[in-house]
Amino acid sequence: AGAKPLAGSESETITEGLDGLRDRVAEYVDLGAKFAKWRAVIRISAEVPTGYAIHTNAHALARYAKICQEGGLVPIVEPEVLMDGDHDLNMCQQVTEETLNSVFGELYAQEVALEGMILKPNMVISGLDAKNRADFDEVADETVNTLLRCVPAAVPGIMFLSGGQSEIDATMHLNVMNVKYRNLPWKLSYSYGRALQASALKAWLGETANIVSAQDALMSRASLNSAACAGEYQPEIT
């Protein structure tokens, strides 16, 4: 699977790879896999996203999820509204809400068992080049409020992507959500890439002698993010 140019759109993409997925799922299950992940990318600019791109990606996410569940895998459903751009928090909120509503509409239509999936969304956050970037509390509030409007309580867990945030910002945002919102219907946790690995990669530098230091850095970031899942992250220890 991978993002390819979307027919009919000059700048948007669709994640392809549904052909043959049932057989690949069977192979992965035989190898011991329990989860799979499918990422759909939604970009924000003056011209995009279009409803067409949101709908086609949502449909593909739901098809993938259904095939995974039929084959015995838990699907991680990842609709990512990118941080790239100068859009403000409000624009990200609008696009994220439209995207999540489309995704869950398709999941319902294709009879995906919501209890047997994980959602991996972006946080509602200002664009990387925005003039006035929202603070931690604003991001936490808009993200949780958007999820409450769009994500059914049957979904057991929401594992945020970091999407270009720094390690500290990603951990802080997660922590603030778990401090301020204690009685949500789903668990708020993390599935970070860069925001979990950046320190480890910096410590490692591709050198065998640095492996232990890199492992220590990774364990440190994982511990801090795990604390944020409980609303117990202490920023001064970073």
Q: Which residues contact 173 (CB under 8 A, 6 or more apart)?
A: 123, 125, 136, 139, 140, 143, 160, 165
Q: Which of 78, 98, 106, 142 is catalytic?
A: 78
Burial class of residue 213 in the structure, from the number of CB atoms within 10 Å of its CB (0-12 exposed, 13-18 middle, 19+ buried): middle
- Please confirm, yes or no, whether 120 is among the known catalytic residues: yes
∠ CA(136), CA(160), CA(158), 5° rounding?
115
The strand ranges marked E within the chain are 2-5, 13-16, 35-42, 74-81, 118-119, 157-160, 187-190
Q: Which of 12, 120, 142, 167 is catalytic?
A: 120
As given in the structure block, the two tokens for residue 3 are 């993002």
Question: Residue 216: in which H helix or E strand, if any?
Answer: helix 211-229
Q: Are strands 2-5 and 13-16 parallel, antiparallel or unpaired?
A: antiparallel
* Cis upstream peptide for 235 (omega within 30°): no
Q: Is 35 helix (H, G, I), strand (E, B) or coil?
A: strand
Distances in whole angstroms, Cα of residue 20 to Cα of each of 1, 35, 67: 10, 17, 10
Question: Residue 63: in which H helix or E strand, if any?
Answer: helix 51-71
Q: Tell me the catalytic residues.
A: 78, 120
